[in-house]
């Protein structure tokens, strides 16, 4: 079904992309990708950036360059999109799924500690932790990073949804050993398909770039000693990214205002939302709310849908997925409560105040 009010939609701005492309006439197209990498590096304060063709590819390479392989254990939230977990499976590693805390809905640091203790008793030591800032809301990074440091665990930040979010005034995606963003169609900045890998460590960036381009060695002929991937970002995608990146803060401000308008107008009708703790600033990629119960949530989704207004249920937790039936899970089913009672409401930065008010009216009638 095509919705007249989609969840989050970036219309193509032909004039803007054309303007960017015109600037590169006569210049090798690889320069567009390099410039996009520099622009993201500048915006995020990151030293090395490798532009790729999806956020999923970026997570795959992030784990790979950190040495994750067959049989390794990787901690990750249960309350996330499958693209956080699939790359762990690509590598033959075992995801260890951690439940959410109730404030940010991200991975609960206490449960991470509990999981590590239990696994230690079994002689198992996770090698990496994937930290997700879900719906743009920063995770409790101080606590998670302290645990990782103490235990010698590598950290991948899956910041796919959170370009423009900050923690202690620093862009999320720049705290882990490697961070990634997605630029798929519904993001705050889109390339209409794409991702990027960020790191401060030159050797990791170099290795990721090598793997992303079929692991072709630097010789005058084709020479390959290890499996590679075709993961590099294309120049047209990078041009689109450059054309929209200047709007980043504007788009974040608009999304935060959308969330605030819903929050204020839905007071009394909703039973919870993601909250920023001190030092957190969310890009509010999606405005998500909990309703009284599952039936109320379903009814609201149906009525809005019948009016052409798209909603999405919150993530169906990973520990409930048939694919992950054998994965370890630590928690008390908070993520299940979020799934049962929560909805993402239209959140695109182009959403008008009138449309928000119409959505609120449908919910509260």
Ligand X SMILES: Cc1ncc(COP(=O)(O)O)c(C=O)c1O
The residue ranges that bind ligand X (CB under 6 A) are 54-56, 80-81, 83-84, 132, 158, 160-161, 182, 184, 195
Nearer to ligand X, 195 or 235 (CB): 195
Nearer to ligand X, 158 or 363 (CB): 158
Q: Are 273 and 289 in contact (CB under 8 A)?
A: yes
Nearer to ligand X, 104 or 182 (CB): 182
Q: Work out how close the CB of 58 gets to ligand X at its nearest, in angstroms, rounded to a whole number.
A: 8
Q: Work out how close the CB of 179 gets to ligand X at its nearest, in angstroms, rounded to a whole number.
A: 12
Q: How many CB atoms lie under 10 A from the CB of residue 303?
A: 14
Place of tokens 């995770």: 139
Output the residue with the shortest Cβ distance to ligand X.
Answer: 55
Residue 319 to residue 277: CA distance in whole angstroms: 26
Q: Work out how close the CB of 184 gets to ligand X at its nearest, in angstroms, rounded to a whole number.
A: 4
223 backbone dihedrals φ, ψ, rounded to 5°: -145, 125
Nearer to ligand X, 54 or 199 (CB): 54
Residue 62 per-residue DSSP state = H
Q: Are 311 and 304 in contact (CB under 8 A)?
A: yes
User: Sheet holding 48-52: strands in order across?
Assistant: 48-52, 195-199, 178-182, 154-158, 128-132, 73-77, 94-98, 328-330
Q: Work out how close the CB of 290 gets to ligand X at its nearest, in angstroms, rounded to a whole number.
A: 19
Residue 223 per-residue DSSP state = -
Q: Are 335 and 315 in contact (CB under 8 A)?
A: yes
264, two tokens: 């204020």
Query: Torsion over CA of 315, 317, 320 and 322, rounded to 10 degrees?
Result: 60
Q: Work out how close the CB of 162 gets to ligand X at its nearest, in angstroms, rounded to a whole number.
A: 9
Nearer to ligand X, 57 or 363 (CB): 57
Q: Work out how close the CB of 134 gets to ligand X at its nearest, in angstroms, rounded to a whole number.
A: 7
Q: Are 73 and 127 in contact (CB under 8 A)?
A: yes
Nearer to ligand X, 244 or 266 (CB): 244
204 backbone dihedrals φ, ψ, rounded to 5°: -75, -40
Nearer to ligand X, 139 or 266 (CB): 139
345, two tokens: 């409401």
Q: Work out how close the CB of 276 gets to ligand X at its nearest, in angstroms, rounded to a whole number.
A: 18
Nearer to ligand X, 84 or 266 (CB): 84
Distances (CA, A) of 73 to 91, 129, 154, 210, 217: 11, 9, 11, 25, 30
Q: Work out how close the CB of 140 gets to ligand X at its nearest, in angstroms, rounded to a whole number.
A: 17
């Amino acid at each position: 079904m095509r919705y007249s009010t989609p969840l989050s939609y970036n219309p193509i701005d032909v004039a803007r992309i054309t303007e960017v492309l015109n600037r590169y006439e006569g210049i090798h197209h690889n320069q567009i990708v390099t410039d996009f990498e520099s622009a993201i590096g500048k915006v995020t304060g990151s030293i090395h950036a490798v532009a790729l063709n999806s956020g999923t590819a970026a997570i795959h390479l992030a784990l790979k360059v950190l040495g994750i392989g067959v049989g390794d254990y990787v901690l990750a939230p249960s309350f996330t999109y499958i693209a956080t977990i699939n790359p762990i499976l690509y590598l033959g590693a075992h995801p260890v799924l951690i439940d959410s805390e109730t404030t940010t809905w991200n991975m609960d640091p206490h449960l991470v500690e509990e999981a590590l203790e239990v696994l230690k008793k079994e002689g198992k030591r996770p090698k990496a932790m994937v930290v997700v800032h879900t719906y743009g809301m920063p995770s409790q990074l101080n606590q998670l990073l302290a645990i990782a440091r103490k235990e010698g665990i590598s950290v991948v930040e899956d910041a796919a949804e959170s370009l423009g979010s900050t923690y202690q005034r620093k862009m999320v995606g720049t705290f882990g050993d490697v961070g990634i963003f997605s630029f798929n169609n519904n993001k705050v900045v889109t390339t209409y398909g794409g991702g990027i890998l960020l790191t401060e460590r030159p050797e990791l960036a170099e290795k990721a770039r090598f793997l992303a381009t079929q692991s072709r060695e630097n010789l005058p002929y084709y020479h390959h000693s290890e499996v590679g991937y075709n993961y590099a970002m294309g120049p047209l995608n990078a041009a689109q990214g450059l054309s929209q990146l200047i709007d980043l803060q504007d788009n974040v401000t608009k999304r935060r205002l959308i969330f605030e308008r819903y929050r204020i107008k839905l007071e009394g009708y909703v039973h919870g939302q993601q909250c920023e703790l001190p030092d957190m600033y969310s890009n509010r990629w999606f405005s998500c709310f909990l309703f009284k119960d599952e039936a109320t949530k379903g009814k609201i989704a149906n009525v809005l849908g019948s009016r052409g207004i798209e909603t999405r249920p919150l993530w169906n937790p990973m520990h409930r997925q048939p694919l992950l039936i054998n994965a370890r899970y630590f928690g008390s089913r908070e993520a299940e409560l979020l799934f049962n009672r929560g909805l993402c409401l239209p959140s695109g930065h182009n959403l008008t105040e009138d449309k928000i008010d119409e959505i609120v009216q449908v919910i509260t009638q």
